[in-house]
Amino acid sequence: MPSSQRRDPHRLLPVDPSTRAIAADLYARVAAAPIISPHGHVPPSLLLDDQPFANPADLFITNDHYVTRLLHAAGVDLAELGADADPREAWRLLARHWHLFAGTASGYWIDEALGTVLGIDPPLTMHTYDEIASRLTEPGFRPRALFDRFGIEFLATTDDPLDDLAVHAQLQSAGLRVAPTFRPDRYVDPDNAGFADAVARLGQMTFAGYLAALEARREHFIRHGAVSADHGVVEPYTVDLDPADAERLFQLVLVGGGTVEERRTFRGHMLLQLARMSVDDGLVMTIHAGVLRNHSTPTFDRFGPDTGHDLPVPTSFVHGLRPLLERFGLERDLHIVLFTVDETAYSREIAPMASFYPSLYIGAPWWFLDAPDAMARVRSAVTETAGFYRSSGFIDDTRAFLSIPARHDTARRADAGYLARLVREGRVDLSAAERIIDDLVGDIPRAVFKL
Amino acid sequence: MPSSQRRDPHRLLPVDPSTRAIAADLYARVAAAPIISPHGHVPPSLLLDDQPFANPADLFITNDHYVTRLLHAAGVDLAELGADADPREAWRLLARHWHLFAGTASGYWIDEALGTVLGIDPPLTMHTYDEIASRLTEPGFRPRALFDRFGIEFLATTDDPLDDLAVHAQLQSAGLRVAPTFRPDRYVDPDNAGFADAVARLGQMTFAGYLAALEARREHFIRHGAVSADHGVVEPYTVDLDPADAERLFQLVLVGGGTVEERRTFRGHMLLQLARMSVDDGLVMTIHAGVLRNHSTPTFDRFGPDTGHDLPVPTSFVHGLRPLLERFGLERDLHIVLFTVDETAYSREIAPMASFYPSLYIGAPWWFLDAPDAMARVRSAVTETAGFYRSSGFIDDTRAFLSIPARHDTARRADAGYLARLVREGRVDLSAAERIIDDLVGDIPRAVFKL
Amino acid sequence: MPSSQRRDPHRLLPVDPSTRAIAADLYARVAAAPIISPHGHVPPSLLLDDQPFANPADLFITNDHYVTRLLHAAGVDLAELGADADPREAWRLLARHWHLFAGTASGYWIDEALGTVLGIDPPLTMHTYDEIASRLTEPGFRPRALFDRFGIEFLATTDDPLDDLAVHAQLQSAGLRVAPTFRPDRYVDPDNAGFADAVARLGQMTFAGYLAALEARREHFIRHGAVSADHGVVEPYTVDLDPADAERLFQLVLVGGGTVEERRTFRGHMLLQLARMSVDDGLVMTIHAGVLRNHSTPTFDRFGPDTGHDLPVPTSFVHGLRPLLERFGLERDLHIVLFTVDETAYSREIAPMASFYPSLYIGAPWWFLDAPDAMARVRSAVTETAGFYRSSGFIDDTRAFLSIPARHDTARRADAGYLARLVREGRVDLSAAERIIDDLVGDIPRAVFKL
């Protein structure tokens, strides 16, 4: 990796020299620590097939809605960036608009992947395309080789509840700790277009049977190494219903009926039921709340979901999670990790809740907040209330495989910088800071995700 | 205090050397200034009885829900930390989990109390317990001696409207400026379980009589030195009603009737009536808004209120306070201090409101926000709009007596740091900064609280 | 300008020495760049008449509700500061309360105007009054001379749709690029007291005729150099109606009818119609959202609008703008600039939206947020998601003519400081930072406002 040395070794660390020195020491402790990635979207077949990446556009553009969205905002048609586009032309569009990415998280990740993973110097041009393409032909740049080089100790994927998980079984046989994650959104949200079909595939037509079918699938996931179940919701809203009401609502929404409020109630009850299942089977529950999916209908109609127009909305947890927490909040073996893209919730709600309820953990800065300044804001927002040990450890949540080390590295640098400031301000002893940064990349995610 | 020297004298000050030097000079001006504590929860009998503190757990754990909540989140049963628990065992639990407090406000306060007040060196262990216990037997560590040593010029307690205030009278006879604060929440909120009983104790069964009874109690408080009345509300909501409607609502809620909205209206009208009383009798009105009390019913049922699960909710003041402000907002002798734990309200609403209405003041960062980073955020959020002279001065709001000097000291350091940055950025002259920091600990709280 | 040298040349730049050095270099590139002011409230007659400013109070107090509001909060009656007050007495009130402005944006602007524009040294006293008065008699301090000295390349005013724009025509004939801005609020909001009269003046009694009349006035504005239309709304809410429903609602609200919700629907439909007009005629659309006007009715009754009690409320864009964006959001020639005084919307909504929709731009920090710390917070909140090229460039939005260079200078310093930190943190190359700061004051506002 000749070029990785050329990147500033102190990048992202605080600018004050004495603080930077402490931060550099703290960072050095964990720079090469194994990567624990308990939530993300890497396709497991990528690792099983272990084929060379198709081309630089496929690697850095086509599948990365962080990148395509900003090009789209600049006037590029998404069709010019998709799987059917000419990859060189797609890259040309990226290169032409590369200055738009200055200061962004995705620009930084690409710089890191080029410099640190692929050993390619800036600037990003058409020449870069050829350099990457050349690298991709080398055995050392296949997915499995990179998996090893990245030092990934544990990688969770995100999967449909009816997935047979055969790919995971094969990966585990091959010695890779790649675990599935149970993601039942489309099976539990009546407003999801595929809801009725999904439930039908579960093959149960009573509410009790439906719950049992979900439980059985969770068992299947657990047998294949799953440690968590993931839930994407627009609002973190829960409702406790008695079985008869739940049955009635289930039958109603199953045939596309129910008012907006009734469908909301059903969804809210299912989030509570899924917590109950986690109490029973031990799967960690991650809740990603507050994103309105597919805001632009014309874009959705042309290009489908995950094309850059999922948008955050104001999010509050205290009222909506109360029914769930009244039932299960004091369960010590229940782990719920709360993620938000409305960062106001961190100091106002998430830190106060997670510093009382043993079941609640503060999720790492997610999505638009997965960036150095935002990380600093979030640590500042939660630590004075909840300390470091109620947070989840870093979670990359990515489908961009090459960005995984850059994302974890960014979090390590951000935490080193935050801790170094506390040391310099006399708020944390250096020895305590050393333990904390070690734990943040190791024991904390292992404990939160029961690894 | 041998060990206080061992604490970093520049703790909490900015890390940039030249900024830190200015901050240190500004801090030095006020480090030893008298403490004005216009709102808090110290029991007045603590000072009247002047008994030695029972034991280290009683002092640092049992009564401090900042501490117990974080231990509870770590899996400790609250029963192991309560008044009936073995204090050594409670301390052992604190010592075992002490690393969880790194970076938290309450961890810092305990460090300060140990190092600066009690002269005990870290680390916090079982040996610390014995050291504290030994200190507590010395006369110099009784409440009154500490009150003197802390340099408390004025201390307000928080009291029930029907309290006879005999304890305050005795303290004042003894020369201590300890004033009661009129806190009528349970007398004015129909959703409070004790509402009907509380009103019954006032002995008046018409709305006019009820208001007169509250006014009479306020007079009783004023005769005993009270300067303010405190109001804890979930939402800062006010309603102006004509007397007939108010009477009708009063009779309705008094017997447990009324819809959710009617009880809200009554509560909102009472907040407006209490402002009217403040216009009439001059008591400063403090409003602590936006906390949902007793979120965890099972915890409340076992351990009662104030056990760590009061949680902030999104809070907005502009619409809700408008009826009150339309009636009384331009009264120059009315002082209303607004507190929030939704920090978004500071730049969006509280600073704009307080920089127009002569009756409104910006409350100090409160509860979860009473910590160095949060203080810096709040100063940054309000100062560019409202300057320094629309803020209330620091308020400790604590029942943890030993933390009082640490809390005021933290605010002084935070303000020195913020001002030093403005000086270094050429935004405030050094001489202006000197006047401001003097005023922040002296003339400003005296003026806001009419001392 | 002898005294401008006495102001700290590094004011507002970061305190860390190496970061400050980079920031100073970046700032130096743009310190003297021409001022592009695409939205503001300078009366065009000020420049056409080119009379000397009446007196120092007229210049710095009477018309500046940033200043009068803080004096009012301190207990000054607004009548003592108005056009009918003795200007020397008004100035005396400012001088007496000048310490209240320490740390505020308006205090800084006045310091800048005095030091840099007028060459007058601090402190601000009655002597200052005489010095300013003396300057105002000099030809070099008339509005046109200052316009030239400030280096204003483009200045937009804000105007009533029925304004004949003769003043603008004369200014343009004289070679000044002073453009009108179409501001139709009172013509489209049924809750505005002057709505019916305003619509009547358009002379059309059908909805189609009313729309056509607005379109015709926009054409008139475009012929007089307008580049944008500005919209002040309490909530960014849009509704798509079919023509029959719109016609029915129009007739209803025109006679003062309709429920609260119907008037809201009409207003929301008009915002969508105005976007449709922008698609048709190319006027940039600026939306200033989230301010509740005239909060204090007694103040409004005595002193009218714009007297310091317009207050921000919680603001969210994602749901409310969806109907508009579903119709027009992907139009590449449509430019909508979103302004908020609820800063939580920046990271949560505005940056995510503007980094997908080609029609949306991130408005500069506005009103209470037009200040150094707030600017830093906003850059931090949006850049990691949206980069620099989805922001609008700086907008002064002021009626205080003498503050224009100070406001633009503040933004340039703030951006230099932010960029310098990114350079020092290894996130942006110095050469990229140089291009960005050049673009922020030049190509970016020119592109966003189609200059």
Rounded to whole angstroms, how far apart are CA atoms C343 and C249? 34
Chains that touch C (3 or more CB pairs under 8 A): A, B
Cis bond upstream, residue C405 (ω within 30):
no
Backbone angles phi, psi at C307, to 5 degrees: -120, 25
User: Which residue in C344, C384, C385 is closest to A344 by CB distance?
Assistant: C344
pLDDT at B3 over 60: no
> Are residues C69 and C37 part of one domain?
no
Cis bond upstream, residue C123 (ω within 30):
yes
Tokens of B66: 């900042």
pLDDT in tens, B350-408: 999 999 999 999 999 999 999 999 999 999 999 999 999 999 999 999 999 999 999 99
> Are residues A107 and A202 part of one domain?
no
> Are residues A284 and A332 part of one domain?
yes
Strand A291-292 to A311-312 pairing: antiparallel
The CATH number for A165's domain is 3.20.20.140
DSSP secondary structure code for residue B159 in this structure:
B
Q: Which residues on B lie below 8 Å from C75 (Cβ)?
A: 332, 358
User: Which residue in B316, B355, B387 is closest to C313 by CB distance?
Assistant: B316
> Are residues C85 and C26 part of one domain?
no
Tokens of B432: 């202006």
The CATH number for B134's domain is 1.10.2020.10
Range of the domain at B216: 17-45+152-448
Tell me which residue has tokens 């580049």.
C227
Q: Which residues on C lie below 8 Å from B421 (Cβ)?
A: 15
Residue A443 lies in a domain: yes
User: Which residue in A7, A8, A373 is closest to C384 by CB distance?
Assistant: A373
CA B374 centroid distance within chain: 15
Chains that touch B (3 or more CB pairs under 8 A): A, C
Residue A324 lies in a domain: yes
CA dihedral B212, B213, B217, B223 (to 10 degrees): 50
Report how far apart the first and last C-alpha atoms of chain A are (Å, whole number): 32
Mutate to test the interface with B, among C96, C297, C313, C373 (most CBs of B within 10 A): C373
| C70–B426 CB contact, under 8 Å | no
Is residue C111 classed exposed, middle or buried when 0-12, 13-18 and 19+ CB atoms within 10 A define those classes? buried
Residue C318 lies in a domain: yes
Shortest distance between the Cα of B13 and any Cα of chain C, in A, equals 14
Q: How many domains would you assign to chain C?
A: 2
| B351–C374 CB contact, under 8 Å | no
Q: Which residues on C lie below 8 Å from B353 (Cβ)?
A: 295, 311
pLDDT in tens, B189-227: 999 989 999 999 999 899 999 999 999 999 999 999 999
pLDDT of residue C3: 42
Rounded to whole angstroms, how far apart are CA atoms B41 and B43? 6
Residue C26 lies in a domain: yes
Rounded to whole angstroms, how far apart are CA atoms C347 and C289? 16
Rounded to whole angstroms, how far apart are CA atoms B135 and B119? 9
> Residue B250's closest CA among B229, B278, B269?
B269
pLDDT at B2 over 50: no
Q: Which of C122, C141, C160 is the last residue of a domain?
A: C141
Q: Which of B113, B141, B169 is the last residue of a domain?
A: B141
Q: How many CA atoms lie within 13 A of B43 on its CB side?
A: 7
Q: Which of B114, B141, B168 is the last residue of a domain?
A: B141
User: Which residue in A101, A296, A309 is closest to C387 by CB distance?
Assistant: A101
> Are residues C341 and C220 part of one domain?
yes
Q: Which residues on C lie below 8 Å from B336 (Cβ)?
A: none
pLDDT of residue C193: 87
> Are residues B62 and B27 part of one domain?
no
Mutate to test the interface with B, among A13, A327, A335, A355 (most CBs of B within 10 A): A355
pLDDT at B245 over 60: yes
Is A431 touching B (CB cutoff 8 A)?
Answer: no
pLDDT in tens, B73-121: 999 999 999 999 999 999 999 999 999 999 999 999 999 999 999 999 9
pLDDT of residue B6: 72
pLDDT, average across residues B12-22: 98
Q: Which residues of chain A have pLDDT under 50?
A: 1-4
> Are residues A296 and A177 part of one domain?
yes
Q: How many CA atoms lie within 13 A of A339 on its CB side?
A: 26
Cis bond upstream, residue B123 (ω within 30):
yes
Rounded to whole angstroms, how far apart are CA atoms B392 and B260? 34
3-state secondary structure of C64: coil
Residue C221 lies in a domain: yes
> Residue B123's closest CA among B107, B146, B137, B103?
B107
Size of interface A-B (CB pairs under 8 A): 137
> Are residues A354 and A312 part of one domain?
yes
Q: Which residues of chain C have pLDDT under 50?
A: 1-4
Is residue B193 classed exposed, middle or buried when 0-12, 13-18 and 19+ CB atoms within 10 A define those classes? exposed
Beta bridge partners of B37: B155
Strand C311-312 to C291-292 pairing: antiparallel
> Are residues A444 and A308 part of one domain?
yes
pLDDT of residue C6: 73
Amino acid making up residue A167: V
> Are residues A181 and A37 part of one domain?
yes
Residue C84 lies in a domain: yes
pLDDT of residue C332: 85
Give the E-state strand segments of A22-71 in sequence order.
35-37
| DSSP states along B375-415 | HHHHHHHHHHHH-STTB-------S-GGGHHHHHHHHHHHH
- Say which residues have a Cβ less than 8 Å from residue A238's Cβ, sequence separation at least 6: A268, A269, A271, A272, A275, A320, A321, A322, A323, A324
Backbone angle region of A304, left / alpha / beta, with phi > 0 → left and psi within -120 to 50 → alpha: left
Contact by Cβ (8 Å): C136, C55: yes
Contact by Cβ (8 Å): C117, C375: no
Q: Which residues on A lie below 8 Å from C16 (Cβ)?
A: 15-16
Rounded to whole angstroms, how far apart are CA atoms C201 and B243? 44
Is residue B429 classed exposed, middle or buried when 0-12, 13-18 and 19+ CB atoms within 10 A define those classes? middle
| C349–A313 CB contact, under 8 Å | yes
CB atoms within 10 A of CB A260: 8
> Are residues A288 and A171 part of one domain?
yes
Tokens of B360: 């409104």
> Are residues B136 and B258 part of one domain?
no
Q: Which residues 350-389 of A have a C-beta within 8 angstroms of B?
A: 351-358, 360, 380-381, 383-389
Segments in A295-364 forming alpha helices (H): 297-303, 322-328, 344-345, 351-354
Residue A9 lies in a domain: no
Backbone angles phi, psi at B336, to 5 degrees: -120, 125
Strand A284-289 to A291-292 pairing: unpaired
Q: How many CA atoms lie within 13 A of B23 on its CB side?
A: 28
| B388–C299 CB contact, under 8 Å | no
Rounded to whole angstroms, how far apart are CA atoms C177 and C157? 11
Residue C11 lies in a domain: no
